[in-house]
Amino acid sequence: MKKRHYLLLLLITALNLSETFSQTAFVKEKRDYVWLLGYDSNFSDPSFGGTRIDFNYSPPLLNYEFRNLDFDVTNASICDSIGNLLFYTNGISIHAPTIPQGQQITNGGGLNPDPYTQEWASRGYNLPQGALILPDPGNSQFFMLFHSEQTIIPDGGPSNYLRVKKKYYSLIKNNPEEVQDSTLIKNSILIEDTLDFGKITAVRHANGRDWWLLQQEYFSNRYYSLMASPSGVSIGSNQAVGQATPSGLGQAVFSPDGSKYVHFTTYNFAEGQFVSIYNFDRCTGLLFDIAQINYNDTAFSGGVAISPNSRFLYVSSYRYIYQYDLWAEDIEASKETVAVYDGV
């Protein structure tokens, strides 16, 4: 049982670190089978560097990989349908394994053009779950990159505030017969508002072709729904649902069957963590509130994952992993502690 606990802890940790992770949208294809991680260039220890996790193998193959590209927090990658890596981004630029290390694809630089981004240019962007790459529903050669931009807001005093003010869309073309892939559209503004931090994830529309994405407003109970279809990306509803929650770092996931959406955020030690659980309508893109759980148990770390059968929600904190039964009448009362970190 102890080995199981360690495995689960490692898996959820990996899910939190790799926001390619994040691409739980691909249930039947192998679009998310290669994860790229790596410490930034501040580390001089040669034991630090790039890591590649390849889920085409069982167990997954974990390799050291030299890359002239650093991932700090923002991380997204996409494979073809059989698990071959096509593109990846650190939130600063877009790269492909078919071109020399460190070189961008054509027009692949300059993502998130706010001046704040330049502070992270050498290390990779610092927004958890801040980017997501999806196949274009209308053209198999095109891929859609969704990304959020942070900006510094002066407060008139010694401190400044960091806020997400824009959500972007960029379009990548896969050119298998040409020298390089290319970015056709870059930094096209989808939403200009004060928004929650990161938490970009997606789920298939009920038609099996299109995509839904959700975006919470800052410190709010309002969510934008975005639909990606062959005609482009459109903004659907902006609905108020459930209770307003603080905006902080965290993670959002859809269940594998698309029926649930879970939003986890950690704000501060006083207010703790907020786990908001919703039913999701894959036809309309609307949320329906079913539970909000607030607990105080963290060192500003944590994340969420849902079991393959869409029944069990796992919430990690600094020391514990909790399990909730999403099929229970009282989800909060179904809480069980399934792993405890023992310091080893």
Q: What is the distance of C-alpha 50 from the center of its chain?
A: 19
Average pLDDT over residues 229-237: 95
Q: What integer pLDDT is reported at residue 317 of this predicted model?
A: 85
d(CA 9, CA 29): 25
pLDDT band at 157 (very low <50, low <70, confident <90, very high): low
Q: Looking at residue 114, which CATH number applies to its domain?
A: 2.130.10
At 324, the amino acid letter reads: Y
Summarised one tens digit per residue, pLDDT across range 29-41 is: 899 999 999 865 4
Give the DSSP letter of residue 333: G
d(CA 310, CA 301): 23
Give the DSSP letter of residue 120: T
**Residue whose structure tokens are 């095109």:** 142
**Into how many domains does the chain fold?**
1
- Mean pLDDT, the chain, rounded, equals 87
What totals of helices (H) and strands (E) does the chain contain, helices first?
2, 22
Average pLDDT over residues 163-181: 86
pLDDT cut 70: percent of the chain above it: 85
Note the pTM of the prediction, 2 decimals. 0.89
Helix, strand or coil, per DSSP, at residue 40: coil
**Residue whose structure tokens are 């659980």:** 277
pLDDT at 142 over 60: yes
pLDDT at 17 over 50: no
pLDDT band at 181 (very low <50, low <70, confident <90, very high): confident
Alpha helices in 18-109 (DSSP H): none
d(CA 312, CA 321): 12
At 287, the amino acid letter reads: L
pLDDT at 117 over 90: yes
Residue span of the structural domain in which 244 resides? 2-340
pLDDT at 159 over 80: no
Phi-psi region of 177 (alpha: psi -120 to 50; beta: other; left: phi over 0): alpha
DSSP string, 285-298: --EEEEEEEEE---
- Indicate the Cα dihedral angle 317, 321, 325, 326, nearest 10°: 40
Q: What integer pLDDT is reported at residue 178 of this predicted model?
A: 61
Give me 196's structure tokens. 């929650």
More confident residue, 343 or 249: 249
pLDDT band at 122 (very low <50, low <70, confident <90, very high): confident
pLDDT cut 90: percent of the chain above it: 68
